């Protein structure tokens, strides 16, 4: 059982106690010395990445996501002469298992109230390494990311300010990518394209009809779909085409500052870069496909017609769309608070107006189109 009182140890203190316990298990034969040293090494790495003086119980799932992804990007130090190679997929998976075992013990020992690994979104894959889980952002997280993109893409915003690269080096104006990065994030979050559709997009795929900007998306199986862009996204697109896109004969929409079409792998780095402008309490690692889930989840949660969402995402049937609808925290509570059958009269509830009453059988079938739901209710 968990102790009644929480012991607020620092990361370093808890790690020292845990490693001492792990090494003690070698004397009983419960662990081999080699395995114990692997645990000890991984925990020592965790301490360096998380911070020695941080209280262990203050770490959240988002903090652990940052630690796990930082380890994945860390050069492999086992080689005598570093060659630039990062941690292998198996090393990343092993590190996650070591951290998970450490926090399981911490929860039992009373060093943390709740195991933060249960809310970590970074999963381990033996072949693909550690990666942010393909899960929708909450409304607050998505709005934080959109707000950061708007800040970068706004006239006179961060895109107009002096920019610095690694080591404080000033980035030349012709190497600036803020407008492009803002456009990428807004397109992914608002329209939800596949990352392959995004990097394949050409300037000529965007057109205007009756004052509305459209994106003709070339999707799977040679299918195309024309999706209208929200006003904010359309304005950012215009700003990027006018001031952010390099002058070149290349037809691709999204270009590197050298004028080359972006690759699929470049998009994750763009999202991570924009995430730096998001407030800490609203930031969460997410993949491009996770933003596709975010688009579907929030459109459906806001009662947008399912078939319209299907057409935006380019799915061939509604069954596929169901896999993109992720569960949002608190949505069941909101649904029950606004239950349509329990609303008081006059607020759109049952019995709020005579028009809500069903027609009498003598009246015959209603004129005009009939919804699928009403057709299902009619007797055969």
User: If 0-12 CB within 10 Å is exposed, 13-18 middle and 19+ buried, where does residue 81 land?
Assistant: exposed
Location of structure tokens 């009644």: 4
Catalytic-role residue among 125, 220, 243, 323: 220
Catalytic-role residue among 176, 283, 293, 315: 315
User: What are the backbone dihedrals phi and psi of residue 223, each rounded to the nearest 5 degrees, phi first?
Assistant: -80, 145
Catalytic-role residue among 245, 283, 292, 298: 292
Contact 328, 136 (CB under 8 A): yes
> What distance in Å separates the CA atoms of residue 319 and residue 328, rounded to the nearest whole number?
19
Q: How far is CA 200 from CA 72, 203, 208, in A?
A: 28, 10, 19
Q: How far is CA 83 from CA 91, 92, 128, in A?
A: 17, 18, 20
Catalytic-role residue among 289, 311, 325, 343: 289
Is 292 assigned a catalytic role? yes
Is 315 assigned a catalytic role? yes
Contact 229, 215 (CB under 8 A): yes
The Cα angle at residue 361 between residues 356 and 364, in degrees rounded to 5: 95
Location of structure tokens 């609203």: 282
Is 220 assigned a catalytic role? yes
- In this structure, are strands 122-125 and 129-132 parallel, antiparallel, or unpaired? antiparallel
Query: DSSP readout, 239-269?
Result: HIIIIIS---S--BSSB-TTS-BPPHHHHHH
Catalytic-role residue among 139, 176, 180, 194: 194
DSSP class of residue 206 equals E
Which of 311-322 are b and which e, b meaning 16 or more Cβ less than 10 Å from the residue's Cβ?
A: ebbbbeeeeebe
Give me the active site residues, please. Answer: 194, 220, 289, 292, 315, 324
């Amino acid at each position: 059982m968990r102790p009644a009182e929480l012991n607020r140890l620092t990361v370093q203190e808890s790690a020292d106690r845990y490693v001492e316990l792990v090494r003690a298990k070698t004397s009983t034969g419960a662990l081999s010395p080699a395995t114990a040293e692997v645990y000890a090494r991984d925990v020592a790495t965790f301490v360096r990445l998380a911070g020695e003086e941080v209280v262990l119980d203050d770490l959240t799932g988002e903090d652990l996501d940052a630690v796990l992804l930082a380890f994945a990007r860390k050069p492999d130090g086992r080689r005598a002469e570093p060659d630039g190679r990062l941690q292998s997929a198996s090393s990343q998976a092993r590190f996650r298992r070591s951290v998970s075992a450490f926090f399981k013990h911490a929860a039992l020992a009373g060093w943390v109230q709740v195991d933060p690994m249960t809310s970590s979104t970074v999963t381990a894959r033996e072949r693909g390494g550690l990666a942010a889980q393909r899960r929708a952002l909450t409304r607050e997280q998505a709005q934080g990311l959109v707000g950061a993109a708007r800040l970068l893409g706004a006239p006179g915003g961060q895109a107009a300010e002096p920019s610095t690269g690694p080591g404080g080096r000033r980035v030349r104006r012709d190497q600036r990518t803020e407008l492009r990065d803002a456009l990428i994030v807004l397109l992914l979050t608002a329209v939800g394209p596949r990352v392959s559709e995004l990097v394949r997009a050409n300037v000529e795929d965007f057109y205007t009809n009756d004052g509305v900007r459209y994106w003709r998306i070339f999707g799977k199986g040679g299918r195309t779909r024309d999706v209208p862009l929200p006003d904010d996204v359309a304005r950012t697109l215009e700003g990027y085409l006018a001031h952010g896109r390099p002058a070149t004969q290349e037809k691709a929409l999204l270009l590197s500052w050298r004028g080359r079409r972006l690759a699929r792998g470049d998009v994750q780095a763009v999202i991570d870069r924009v995430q730096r402008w998001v407030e800490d309490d609203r930031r969460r690692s997410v993949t491009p496909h996770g933003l596709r889930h975010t688009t579907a989840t929030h459109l459906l949660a806001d009662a947008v017609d399912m078939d319209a969402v299907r057409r935006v995402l380019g799915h061939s049937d509604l069954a596929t769309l169901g896999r993109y609808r992720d569960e949002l925290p608190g949505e069941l509570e909101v649904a029950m608070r606004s239950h349509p059958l329990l609303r008081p009269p006059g607020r759109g509830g049952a019995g709020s107006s005579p028009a809500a009453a069903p027609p009498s059988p003598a009246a015959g079938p209603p004129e005009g189109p009939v919804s699928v739901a009403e057709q299902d209710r009619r007797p055969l």
